[in-house]
Amino acid sequence: MIRRLILILLFVSVTGAVASGAGLWAWKLGLDDLAQSGRASLTLASDRLVRQLERFRELPVLLADHPLLLAEARGAPGTDRAAEASRVLESVADLTGALEIWLVDAAGQVRAGSSLATASGTRPRNLANQPDFRRAMTGALGYYHAQPGADAERGFFFSAPVRDARGTPAGAVMVKVDLEALESEWRGDPGILFFTDVNGVVFLANRDPLLLRVDGDLSAVRAPVARLQQYPVTALKPWFEISTSVRFGHELWRIDAPAAADLPQQALHLEQPLPLIAMRGRILIDTRPATVQAWLWGGLAAALMGMLALAMLALWERRRALSVRLETEERANAELERRVADRTSELVRTNDVLRQEVADRKAAEDALRRAQADLVQAGKLAALGQLSAGISHELNQPLAAIHSYAENAEILMARDRTAEVRENLSLIVQLSDRMARIIRNLRAFSRKEGEPATVVVLNGVVDDALALVRPRFDKEGVAVDWMPPAGDVLVHGGGVRLQQVVLNLLTNAADAMRGQAKRTIHIRIETFADRTELQVRDSGPGLQDADRIFEPFYTTKSAPGGEGMGLGLSISYGIVQSFGGDIRGENVEGGGALFRVILTPVDRSVAA
């Protein structure tokens, strides 16, 4: 019993220590986060204030050189010049957003002002004692901030000297900047932003109860303020009762203020100097979020310790039942091993079946590939059969010519006309070369090509295909518009198979134009960065069903004699696909069909 009580007390002590440590750590992290966000807000507000004031710093300097203001300040004769100067200043104030702009003479009297452009405008008091004016009269740019009276508006003042003809200050241009627009942007900030001058007087704030409060000895501030008429002395108020402390490197304020002041009871205080405007930017951030976070983390740590105790109790209970479970698991493992052995033998049998199916599928693919190759070869032979009449005529002509030239040569030799005999022999050689070229193209086209794709000269393939169909085209009156490129176009493919594709496209184009008045085939090669296109366009009626043209046995030909089995384009499609390319057919505007053979280009440096 005593041992259990000691364990409980020890656990409670450890839980309290852990919860306290977690709470303090959470409070530190919370204060760090508040300080980081507070510094960002203070820096943003300070930078915006300085930037807004910097907009107006050079304005009086620019206005000091205005001819009208110079004339008025120097007292040159003129008709109603002060009123005109006031209208100019009013226009500039409207454009720049300045609250007031005044032209002040050397005695501190306002000669013209943006508020004096209308009859209802009020002329301000004498400004001779204002520090920014006194500095301007020394020839420098003056800066000052003040609330001249209880009913006056707070403002920042910038003053620049207006010089006479000798360069001596004859007056000053003073610009007063409105603060309401600046403060209105800070109203929604959760932090309490305020800016104090060198005397500790709050001049700007996003909480009105802070304005003109003195962070310091109020009695010591009243004398210089009264002398400079910077603030209404009666409007100055003492600072709230505060006590300061430092926690984790952060300055904390405990504030005793009325509820109307809208100030937190405890706040994080941050500040930074603003030497450009002789002020200090400060911010108070409520620490309640960090306090709530500390309590939350402390409670969570205590809850986790409680859960740990429950887990340890459950673990002890579990250990007692573990021995029973081990025996049960051993029996289950034995049963599982038996099932695994059975399943393994079944998987072995299934694997053997799958291996046989893979072998059968591979054999079927090999058979299909051989059948496709035979079909391609049959297509080539069928094409040769269709071209045989024209080719026979193309061979008979040079044979007859060779026979005639040979007979003539025999006669000419008998007459000792050797020059003409030499000319006949030259013609016989040319005709023999022509026949050899035709036979070479036929032999290359008819052979089986089983080699993998290599580098092919595409324009050479087109020339060879045209040589085969030229006799038929000449006989049927088919014109060919072929513009070969300047140099060789290299693509990835097979020469013979690619020649069959071109031959199929040319013969299909000629068949499609039967009965047409104009029968022209246009052939172009277009090169792009990622592809090379061979384009074959005819002047026929176009494609009736463009989506089905590459299907096997699909044809629109109805010529007698078994012509038009519908395999030409299907074979061509398979050939181009085997090269990693594509073939597409479409109708073109104005009539006719366009086939584009898309192939992979080969760089000349790689080919070399």
Q: Calculate the CA dihedral of residues 552, 557, 561, 563 and round it to 10 degrees.
A: -40
**C-alpha angle 129-131-133 in degrees, rounded to nearest 5:** 80
For 45, the token pair is 């507000």
Question: Which residues, 6 or more positions from 89, have their beta carbon under 8 angstroms from its beta carbon?
Answer: 63, 101, 102, 103, 112, 113, 114, 117
Residues 600, 492: contact at Cβ < 8 Å?
yes
For 24, the token pair is 């303090």
Q: How many residues are there in the chain?
A: 608
Query: CA 605 to CA 534: how far, in whole Å?
Result: 22
Residues 33, 285: contact at Cβ < 8 Å?
no
Strands (E), 152-225: 155-163, 169-178, 192-196, 202-205, 213-214
Where do the structural domains in the chain lie, given as residue ranges? Answer: 451-599
* pLDDT for position 304: 82
DSSP letter string, 211-238 = TTEESS-HHHHHHHHHHHT-S-GGG-EE
Q: Residue type for 347, please?
A: L
For 72, the token pair is 């008025």
Query: CA 566 to CA 379: how far, in whole Å?
Result: 11
Tens digits of per-residue pLDDT, 133-162?
A: 899 999 999 988 888 776 677 888 999 999
For 193, the token pair is 């932003």
* pLDDT for position 567: 55
Residues 209, 194: contact at Cβ < 8 Å?
no
Residue 356 CA, chain-centre distance (Å), reads 52
Residue 57 CA, chain-centre distance (Å), reads 40
**C-alpha angle 299-301-307 in degrees, rounded to nearest 5:** 105
In three-state secondary structure terms, 369 is helix
* pLDDT for position 561: 37
* pLDDT for position 583: 92
**C-alpha angle 482-488-494 in degrees, rounded to nearest 5:** 90
For residue 212, which of 180, 179, 239 has the smallest C-alpha distance? 239
**DSSP 8-state assignment for residue 566:** S
Handedness of CA 475, 481, 485, 486 (dihedral sign): positive
* pLDDT for position 421: 77
Please compute, for residue 324, the number of CA atoms within 13 A of its CA located in the half-sphere on the CB side. Answer: 5
Query: CA 57 to CA 298: how far, in whole Å?
Result: 53
Query: CA 196 to CA 578: how far, in whole Å?
Result: 83
Please compute, for residue 278, the number of CA atoms within 13 A of its CA located in the half-sphere on the CB side. Answer: 11
Low-confidence spans in the chain with pLDDT less than 50: 558-566
Longest Cα–Cα distance in the chain: 149
Tell how strand 266-274 and strand 454-457 pair up: unpaired
pTM of the model: 0.46
Residue 530 CA, chain-centre distance (Å), reads 25
For residue 282, which of 269, 265, 263, 292 has the smallest C-alpha distance? 269
Residue 298 burial (CB count, 10 A): 21
**DSSP 8-state assignment for residue 553:** T
Q: Which CATH number fits domain 451-599: 3.40.50.620, 3.30.565.10, 3.40.50.11610, 3.40.50.1950?
A: 3.30.565.10
* pLDDT for position 97: 86
For residue 555, which of 574, 539, 532, 571 has the smallest C-alpha distance? 571
* pLDDT for position 237: 87
Residues 599, 491: contact at Cβ < 8 Å?
yes
Query: CA 223 to CA 129: how far, in whole Å?
Result: 15
* pLDDT for position 397: 58
For 103, the token pair is 């032209």
Tens digits of per-residue pLDDT, 401-412?
A: 676 667 777 787
